[in-house]
Structure 1
Amino acid sequence: MTGTTKGLVVDGLRKRYGDHTAVDDVSFTLAPGSSLAVVGESGSGKTTTVRMLVGLERPDGGTVRLDGRDRSARPRNRSERLSRAREIQMVFQDPYLSLDPRVTVAGCVEEVLRLHTRLNADARRSRVAELLSQVGLGEREAKALPRRLSGGQRQRVAIARALAVEPRVLILDEAVAALDVSIQAQILDLLAAIRRESGIGYLFVTHDLAVVRHIAEEVIVLKSGRLVEAGPTDRVLDAPEHPYTRLLLDSVPRRGWNPALAAPGRRALG
C-alpha cells in the first residue's frame, strides 16, 4: 500500500482487546470520490476498523493516511483533532443517538458549523437551510425536534450534519440497516446524488449484500478481523473466490433461494 498519496490508504491495521484480535492486518485504499463497501457478519471487525479511521479507537498497529497525511497517531492538540474530524465524518445506524433531543433539527446542524467554521449567525442559518435542502428537508423539518421525525428523516439530518464540514470521506456504518426497504432506496439514491455533485468518497459498512451493488464500485470482505476477499463489486458478488464470501451471498434471500446453503454447518468454510 505504498506510493499512493491521494485518497484514504489503510495499511496493516490491527486492534486487540485483551486476548481477542478484533482487526488483524487489514489493508485497503479508497480513491478520491469513489465508494468502497466493507462487508461481513457481526464480529467480523468492520465497525472496529472504521472506528479507528475516525479516531474513536486507536490502532495497535498499521497506518491510516488521507492524502498522504498520517492519522494513526494521537492528535497533538485540539486544532489537529478538529481538522481530522472535518476530513472524515461518520453516520451511524441509529441517528437519534447522535442528535440532541432538546434541540431542533436546524440547531443540531448549526452546532456543527459553530464548532468547525467561522461563519457568522446569518451565514450559519443560510448554510443550514442549504444543507437541509440538499438532503431533501425543508423549513418544517428544520423547526422540528428529532423525535418528531421519521427514521428516514433523522438519517437525512445525520447526513446533513456530516456534510456540513465538507469532509473528504463519509463513513456510513450500517446507515440504512434500520430503515424500511423503500426508505433505504431513497437514502441510497440521495447518497449517490451527493457523491456525484460533491466528489466525496464513501466507505459503506454493511452486512447486507443486497445494497452493496447499488452503492459501491469496490468491496472488501472481512471475516474474524481479517480481509478475505477484495475487488470490484460486480466481480466479488458475481464470482466470489473465497468460501466465506459465497456463504454470505448464499444467505441473501432471493428467487430460488435455498436456506440450506446458509446453514450453520457451512460456517466452518474458509
Structure 2
Amino acid sequence: MPPRRGRTGAVNEGLTVEGLRKRYGPHTAVDGVSFTLPPGGSLALVGESGSGKTTTARMLVGLERADAGTVRLDGRDRSARARGRAERLARAREIQMVFQDPYLSLDPRVTVSGCLDEVLRLHTDLDGAGRRARAAELLDRVGLGSREASALPRGLSGGQRQRVAIARALAVEPRVLVLDEAVAALDVSIQAQILDLLREIRREAGVGYLFVTHDLAVVRHIADEVLVLRSGRIQEHGPVNRVLDAPRHPYTRLLLDSVPRRGWRPVG
C-alpha cells in the first residue's frame, strides 16, 4: 500500500513523541514519555490528577516547552521554537486542543459566529461570505444552528459550548485533536452525545485524537489504544481491550478497581 498523503502532498506519518520530559523546579511532571499516534488513530492518556497527562498534552500543542524529547508530526520536528508567525500559525493548524471547560476558552463578549469568524480570518483566505458559509457548515457539523450562532457563550448549555469548542478546533482542518478532559464537566447523557459526535467526526474527517482523561469509563468509547501515566512515567501502554480487560501493571488494576460498578454504594 502506498503511503498516505495529506492535502499538501506530504506523507502522513502521524504523531511521534520520543523521550518527552518536563520539570517544574524539583518536581518532574513528565519523565521520558514516548508514543505514536497513527493518522486517524485515537490514543487515551489516563491517570490520576498529577500524573502528567495534561502537561504532556500542553507540550504537544506548544503551550509548554519540553525540557527534553521530541515531538514530530509527519516527520517534521515541532520541538524547536517556531521561526516566525507563519510557522506558528502552521503548527497551530496541525494540532488543535479542546479544553475541559470551554467557557474559559471562549470570549464571553463574542458570539459563536464571531468566534468562528476570528479563527477563519486568521487561518484562511476566505472572504466574508466564504467565512460565513464555512462557519454555518462547521456549526451544522456539530449539531448547532443559527440560533446558537448568534448567541453569546453564557446563553448556551455546557454541551453546546463544548460543541462550539469542537467546531472552532475543526475550522482549521487539524491533523490531530487533543481533547483534555473534554467531557469531564458534562453530565452522563451529554457526555454520550459528545462522544458519539467525536466518533463520527473521526470517521468522516480522519482526524487523530489524543484523549486526556482520568475516567476509564469513557476510554472504550473513544480510543484504540490507552497509555497509563503515573507521576509522569508510563506504567502501561497497549490496545484498549487488552489493557482494560487484562491489565499487566498493578497501578492499572488499581485504577480499574476504583471505577464505580453497578450496585456500588459510598461508604458512610
Fold match, TM over 0.5? yes
Is 1:250 aligned to 2:257, yes or no? yes
Q: Secondary structure at the match of 2:32?
A: strand
What residue number does 1:208 align with? 215
Q: Secondary structure at the match of 2:197?
A: helix
C-alpha distance in 2 between matches for 1:221 and 1:75: 30
| Aligned-pair CA distance for 1:95 | 0.2
* Cα contact 2:40–2:207 (8 A) shared by 1: yes
Equivalent positions of 1:57-206 (< 5 A) are: 57-206=64-213
Unaligned runs of 5+ in 1: 261-270
C-alpha distance in 2 between matches for 1:42 and 1:48: 11
Q: Secondary structure at the match of 1:21?
A: strand
Q: Secondary structure at the match of 1:240?
A: coil
Cα pair distance change 1:40/1:150, threshold 3 Å = same
* Cα contact 2:96–2:169 (8 A) shared by 1: yes
What residue number does 1:27 align with? 34
TM-score scaled to structure 1, two decimals?
0.93
* Cα contact 1:26–1:226 (8 A) shared by 2: yes
| One-letter amino acid of the structure 1 residue matched with residue 174 of structure 2 | P
| Aligned-pair CA distance for 1:255 | 2.5
RMSD of Structure 2 on Structure 1 (CA) = 1.4
Q: Secondary structure at the match of 1:53?
A: helix
* Cα contact 2:95–2:176 (8 A) shared by 1: yes
C-alpha distance in 2 between matches for 1:102 and 1:255: 43
What is the percentage of aligned positions where both structures have the same residue? 81
Structure 1 residues 207-234: Cα deviation after superposition (integer angstroms, max 9, x where no partner): 0000000000100000000011000000
| Aligned-pair CA distance for 1:258 | 8.8
| One-letter amino acid of the structure 1 residue matched with residue 157 of structure 2 | S
Unaligned runs of 5+ in 2: 1-10
C-alpha distance in 2 between matches for 1:39 and 1:5: 26
* Cα contact 1:152–1:187 (8 A) shared by 2: yes
| One-letter amino acid of the structure 2 residue matched with residue 152 of structure 1 | G
* Cα contact 1:251–1:259 (8 A) shared by 2: no
C-alpha distance in 2 between matches for 1:246 and 1:16: 28
Q: Secondary structure at the match of 1:165?
A: coil
Is 1:217 aligned to 2:224, yes or no? yes
Q: Secondary structure at the match of 2:28?
A: strand
| One-letter amino acid of the structure 1 residue matched with residue 179 of structure 2 | L
Is 1:241 aligned to 2:248, yes or no? yes
| Aligned-pair CA distance for 1:155 | 0.1
Say how many residue pairs are matched: 257
| Aligned-pair CA distance for 1:119 | 0.5
Structure 1 residues 138-197: Cα deviation after superposition (integer angstroms, max 9, x where no partner): 000001111000000000000000000000000000000000000000000000000010
| One-letter amino acid of the structure 2 residue matched with residue 191 of structure 1 | L
TM-score scaled to structure 2, two decimals?
0.94
| One-letter amino acid of the structure 1 residue matched with residue 129 of structure 2 | D
| Aligned-pair CA distance for 1:5 | 7.0
C-alpha distance in 2 between matches for 1:5 and 1:112: 24
C-alpha distance in 1 between matches for 2:13 and 2:224: 18
Is 1:38 aligned to 2:9, yes or no? no
* Cα contact 2:17–2:35 (8 A) shared by 1: yes
* Cα contact 1:250–1:259 (8 A) shared by 2: no
| One-letter amino acid of the structure 1 residue matched with residue 207 of structure 2 | I
| Aligned-pair CA distance for 1:256 | 5.5
C-alpha distance in 1 between matches for 2:40 and 2:265: 37
What residue number does 2:5 align with? none
C-alpha distance in 2 between matches for 1:175 and 1:92: 6
C-alpha distance in 2 between matches for 1:34 and 1:79: 27
Is 1:15 aligned to 2:25, yes or no? no
